[in-house]
Amino acid sequence: MGLDLIKYMSDRLQEERRAHGKLGPVLTISRLYGCPAKKIAKILIDELTEKMLVKGYKNIQWKLITKEIMSESARELEMDPSKIKYIFDYEQKGLIDDIFSAHLNKYYKSDRKIRNTVGRVIRNIACEGHAVIVGRGGVAITRDIPLSLHVNLEAPLEWRVLRVSEKQCFSLEEAEKYIIDVDKKRKQFREYFEGKNTDYTQFDLTFNCMTLSVDEIVRIIIKACEIRKMI
């Protein structure tokens, strides 16, 4: 993906509109490792649901999508979730390992097929709406949905190193090495869906988690959702 991404996503959006009508709303959160994405997401789903309730939408529940992606992807692939967990750990098989596995296992699914299935599951969840998706290439997979908002969390490396070192009981050197490795893997995972060297999937909002509190970030995101009529 990437070379004809805009045309591809535009054509796909038209097909989905014809099939499902209104798509979204969906909120995606990308982050550098060490930023409090899940904490922000959990507060957001409560706040967004409360906003809908105040407006009289009693049956609408915003949801944080995490384990559902892996379980639904595994179900579609007819595989045990443990067999595709490596994808969600941002790992990938080497070419030799891929070939070896294909010869030994008649139920083998290629790395590409697994990733494409994960992308399709995320896309379907986003189209159903009222979902907050953390990571997993969400911005690339859902960027063209009109009722969507795409958030990026970042912070200086030194700040994240201190947080991760304290939380994971790593030395500062270990924490820095781990952060750099995870950030690289997450970027590669996102690039699989958006392609390299494309600016089509730029974020709508980027926050510095060192200078803004969780509460401030949540309040700004909620306001942006209101402006976009997502709630």
pLDDT at 72: 92
Which two three-digit tokens encode residue 90? 């941002």
CA distance 207 to 217: 7
CA distance 8 to 2: 9
**Residue 114 carries which side chain, given as an amino acid letter?**
I
Q: How confident is the model at residue 6 (pLDDT cuts 50, 70, 90)?
A: very low
Q: Render pLDDT for 184-198 as a digit per residue (tens, 0 to 9).
A: 988 888 887 766 656
Backbone angles phi, psi at 99, to 5 degrees: -65, -45
User: Mean pLDDT, to the nearest integer, of 218-229?
Assistant: 97
CA distance 141 to 118: 10
User: Mean pLDDT, to the nearest integer, of 115-127?
Assistant: 92
pLDDT at 86: 86
pLDDT at 5 over 70: no
Helix (H, G, I), strand (E, B) or coil at 131: strand
User: Mean pLDDT, to the nearest integer, of 126-130?
Assistant: 94
Is the CB of residue 195 less than 8 Å from the CB of residue 3? Answer: yes
Domains, the chain: 5-223 (3.40.50.300)
Give me the percent of the chain exceeding a pLDDT of 90.
57
pLDDT at 20 over 90: no
**Mean of the per-residue pLDDT values for the chain?**
85
Q: Render pLDDT for 21-61 as a digit per residue (tens, 0 to 9).
A: 679 999 999 999 999 999 999 999 999 999 999 999 988 99
pLDDT at 117 over 80: yes
Q: Cβ contacts of residue 88 below 8 Å, gap of 6+?
A: 69, 70, 136
Q: Render pLDDT for 144-186 as a digit per residue (tens, 0 to 9).
A: 899 999 999 999 999 999 999 999 999 999 999 999 999 998 8
Q: Cβ contacts of residue 132 below 8 Å, gap of 6+?
A: 26, 27, 28, 29, 41, 44, 45, 48, 62, 63, 64, 65
Which two three-digit tokens encode residue 139? 């911005």
The pTM of this model reads 0.82
pLDDT at 103: 42
